[in-house]
């Protein structure tokens, strides 16, 4: 069965500094990988996804993530964060060819310090 581990429950970072949010997954088959963002009191929206091809995926709001199959990781990065990036970030995995089920990690709270 697939699973997702987000290693940090909270990440504080100063405004305009770079950030990396870590995500590791486990699955016995090939997977699709996602990062979603949840702003306060809102639903989730997709930041980016990896289905196949280039292992470096670019998303919205200047975020990118790199798929590393050997390390089973899909870490999210941004070179310079803004106060508006304050949110909860969820990594998610879906097995190829399964019943559209996506397993979410427990989330990482990104806290931007002024």
Partner 1 sequence: DTAVSQTPKYLVTQMGNDKSIKCEQNLGHDTMYWYKQDSKKFLKIMFSYNNKELIINETVPNRFSPKSPDKAHLNLHINSLELGDSAVYFCASSPRLAGNEQFFGPGTRLTVL
Q: Minimum distance between the CB of residue 12 and partner 1, rounded to whole angstroms?
A: 17
Residue that the structure tokens 């280039």 belong to: 54
In the bound complex, what is the minimum distance in angstroms from residue 87's beta carbon to partner 1?
A: 11
CB of 45 to partner 1, least distance (A): 7
Q: Select 88 or 112, whichever has its Cβ closest to partner 1.
A: 88
Q: Which residues bind partner 1 (CB under 8 A)?
A: 32, 34, 38, 41-46, 49, 51, 88, 90, 94-104, 106-107, 109
Contacts of 21 (CB under 8 A, 6+ apart): 6, 8, 11, 35, 75, 76, 77, 89, 91, 108, 110
**Residue 64 and residue 20: Cα distance in Å, rounded?**
10
């Amino acid at each position: 069965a697939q699973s997702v581990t987000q290693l940090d429950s909270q990440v504080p970072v100063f405004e305009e500094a770079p950030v990396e949010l870590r995500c590791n997954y486990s699955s016995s088959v090939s997977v699709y990988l996602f990062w979603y963002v949840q702003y306060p009191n809102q639903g989730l929206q997709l930041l980016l996804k990896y289905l196949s091809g280039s292992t470096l995926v670019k998303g919205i709001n200047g975020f990118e993530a790199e798929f590393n199959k050997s390390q089973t990781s899909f870490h999210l990065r941004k070179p310079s964060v803004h106060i508006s990036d304050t949110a909860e970030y969820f990594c998610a995995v879906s097995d190829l060819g399964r019943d559209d089920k996506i397993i979410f990690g427990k989330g990482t709270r990104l806290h931007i310090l002024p």
